[in-house]
């Protein structure tokens, strides 16, 4: 049967409006009111969900019509509606940016939309901007507006009074350096790197609720779960070692769920800190992250280099994605890597790949995402090549012995059987 739950998609006119801080503040404010909040993130982002996980205390899943697909989104929203008191979705970029966009998700699943608008340097134009964003697609359900980075309480009054009567005012956050979230080349810092993140979220939530508890967003009716495609336990009895530390941290929670649904046991290890792989494993997954920020530590871990090379020589399936692939090359910026993949990576001043792509492998078709600033020089012949959403050539995939490596971050639920073949081959 259908499930009903208050729901909200928070978007903005553009990137860098403070959506993640506002989303975290909203989530924490509702959590402080005793509600179980399930947060989601539009797009294939890894970093914003870490912030929202801190705010809600729950894993944060991705919603992307291209990478995840409509059925995957519908199933996750319906399940969340059954298990939570409130659903909060953080958009990506501006409301209408991208194809598909946050607005496409809001319209398709009837999610009420709230806007976070950076109001610094703005007065009555605030209301016109909000009204125009909602009028651009009249089928969107306006849930309200939050003014971010205001200069004073009086500034907030000007902004509030500029809104049309049919667009609710949800509050404001005054500009404070103590609330800002630090960024680097791939986006926000990891949640565990941000000093005082808990205090920043708590303070922002308190500012939003200065005038009283936050009202609940409108209820949304979520259709029943689509008929489940029974996932065969093709990895039953298999144990997969997953790299997870400061350098390897880009892991979709849905990917872990998928491995477990396939019957696999998972165990984490640190290529930076550990000297050996976990015992009794059947495969290794090196996800993306920031190996370029830990080159000295990575290159000096000779014991892990030996362990990974031994696993490769023994034929253990190894999947290395983006930062994971960088780490297994001969070098990154002329600093030694783990030496499983002949080639050298170097960081570039601009991003070298961005967007959702689709990979046709002998194991099956997998949806994926790419976003990287490094480039790879290798004499290896590509094993396969992904295509972009526009059908153009995308990232290449290499196979070197039992190693499969690419700049792609695969979304495992897009084809669990293919994932099982990758890890069981």
Q: Which residues are catalytic?
A: 322
Q: What is the Cα gyration radius of the chain?
A: 22
Long-range Cβ pairs for the range 210-217 (8 Å, 24+) = 210/171, 211/171, 213/29, 213/33, 214/26, 214/29, 214/30, 214/33, 214/170, 214/171, 216/6, 216/30, 216/86, 217/6, 217/7, 217/8, 217/86, 217/112, 217/114, 217/143
Q: N- to C-terminal Cα distance for the chain?
A: 40
User: How many alpha carbons lie under 13 Å from residue 207 in its C-beta half-sphere?
Assistant: 26
Rounded to an integer, what distance in angstroms lies between the CA atom of residue 368 and that of residue 271?
Answer: 24
Angle, helix 47-56 to helix 19-32, in steps of 10 degrees: 20
Rounded to an integer, what distance in angstroms lies between the CA atom of residue 223 and that of residue 239?
Answer: 36
Name which of 171, 165, 107 is nearest 136 in CA terms.
107
């Amino acid at each position: 049967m259908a499930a009903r739950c208050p729901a909200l998609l928070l978007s903005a006119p553009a990137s860098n409006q403070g959506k993640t801080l506002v989303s975290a503040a909203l989530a924490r404010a509702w959590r402080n009111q005793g509600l179980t909040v399930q947060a989601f993130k539009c797009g294939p982002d890894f970093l914003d969900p870490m912030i929202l996980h801190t705010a809600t205390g729950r894993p944060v899943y991705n919603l992307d019509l291209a990478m995840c697909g409509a059925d995957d989104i519908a199933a996750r929203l319906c399940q969340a509606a059954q298990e939570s008191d409130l659903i909060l979705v953080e958009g990506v970029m501006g409301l209408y940016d991208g194809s598909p966009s946050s607005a496409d998700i809001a319209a398709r699943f009837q999610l009420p939309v709230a806007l976070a608008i950076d109001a610094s340097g703005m007065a009555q134009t605030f209301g016109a901007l909000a009204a125009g964003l909602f009028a651009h697609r009249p089928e969107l359900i306006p849930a309200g507006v939050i003014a971010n980075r205001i200069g004073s309480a009086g500034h907030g009054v000007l902004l509030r009074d500029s809104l049309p009567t049919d667009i609710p005012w949800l509050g404001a956050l005054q500009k404070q350096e103590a609330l800002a979230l630090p960024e680097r080349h791939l986006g926000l810092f990891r949640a565990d790197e941000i000093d005082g993140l808990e205090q920043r979220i708590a303070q922002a939530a308190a500012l939003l609720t200065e005038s009283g508890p936050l009202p609940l967003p409108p209820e949304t009716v979520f259709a029943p779960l689509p008929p489940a495609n029974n996932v065969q336990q093709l990895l039953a009895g298999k144990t997969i070692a997953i790299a997870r530390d400061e350098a390897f941290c880009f892991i979709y929670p849905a990917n872990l769920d998928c491995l477990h649904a396939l019957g696999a046991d998972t165990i984490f290890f640190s290529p930076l800190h550990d000297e050996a792989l976990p015992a009794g494993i059947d495969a290794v997954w090196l996800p993306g992250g920031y190996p370029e920020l830990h080159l000295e530590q990575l290159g000096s871990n000779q014991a892990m280099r030996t362990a990974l090379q031994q696993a490769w020589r023994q034929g253990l399936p190894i999947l290395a994605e983006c930062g994971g692939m960088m780490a297994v090359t001969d070098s990154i910026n002329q600093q030694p890597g783990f030496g499983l993949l002949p080639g050298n990576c170097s960081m570039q001043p601009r991003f070298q790949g961005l967007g959702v792509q689709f990979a046709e492998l002998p194991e099956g078709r997998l949806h994926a995402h790419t976003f990287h600033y490094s480039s790879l020089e290798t004499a290896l012949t590509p094993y396969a090549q992904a295509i972009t959403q526009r059908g153009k050539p995308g990232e290449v995939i290499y196979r070197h012995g039992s190693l499969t490596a690419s700049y792609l971050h695969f979304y495992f639920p897009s084809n669990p059987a293919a994932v099982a073949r990758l890890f069981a081959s």
